[in-house]
A and B are shown apart, each in its own frame.
Chain A
Amino acid sequence: MAVERDTRLAQKVYQQYLTFFDKAERERRWHPIHDIPWEKINRELPEALVLNAETFCCVESYLPDYVAGGINVVRKSFGQAWFSANWGYEESKHSIALMEYLMRSGRRSPEHMFDLQAQLMEKEWRLPFTTARQMTVYGCFQEQATFVIYCRQEAAASQAGDEALRTIFRLNARDEIAHARFYEDVIKLLLEEDREATVLDIAWVAKHFEMPGVGIVPDYESRVQVMRDVGHIDRDLFLQKVYFPVLKYLGVTREELVAAAGQLRKMASASANGAPVNPATV
Chain B
Amino acid sequence: MKSRAELLQTFQQLATRVAERPIELTSEAMAISALGIDSLGMLEIIGEMERELSIRIPDDQLVGINTVGQLVDLVERRLGAG
Q: B39 contacts which chain A residues (CB < 8 A)?
A: 206, 235, 238-239, 243
Chain A nearest CB: distance from B36 CB in Å?
13
- List, in ascending order, chain B residues with CB within 8 A of A257's CB: 40, 43
A106 within 8 Å of B by Cβ? no
Cα distance A243–B46 in the bound complex, in angstroms: 15
Tell yes or no: A258 within 8 A of B by CB. yes
| Chain A min CB distance to B53 (Å) | 14
Would you call B44 an interface residue if the criterion is a C-beta within 8 Å of the partner chain's C-beta atoms? yes
Chain A at the B interface: SS class: helix
Q: Which of B26-67 contact A (CB under 8 A)?
A: 33, 38-41, 43-44, 47-48, 59-60, 62-64
Determine whether A89 belongs to the interface, using a CB cutoff of 8 Å to chain B: no
Confirm or deny: B6 has a beta carbon within 8 angstroms of a beta carbon on chain A: no
Count of chain B residues with a beta carbon within 8 Å of a chain A beta carbon: 17
Q: Could you tell me how many residues of chain A have their Cβ less than 8 Å away from some Cβ of chain B?
A: 20
- B24: Cβ under 8 A from any A Cβ: no
Q: Are B47 and A207 in contact (CB under 8 A)?
A: no
**Per-position 1/0 for B12-24, Cβ under 8 A of A:** 0000011010000
B interface list, Cβ under 8 A from A: 17-18, 20, 33, 38-41, 43-44, 47-48, 59-60, 62-64
Q: Using a CB–CB distance below 8 Å, which chain A residues touch chain B? A: 203, 206-207, 235-236, 238-240, 243-244, 254-255, 257-258, 261-262, 265, 268-269, 274
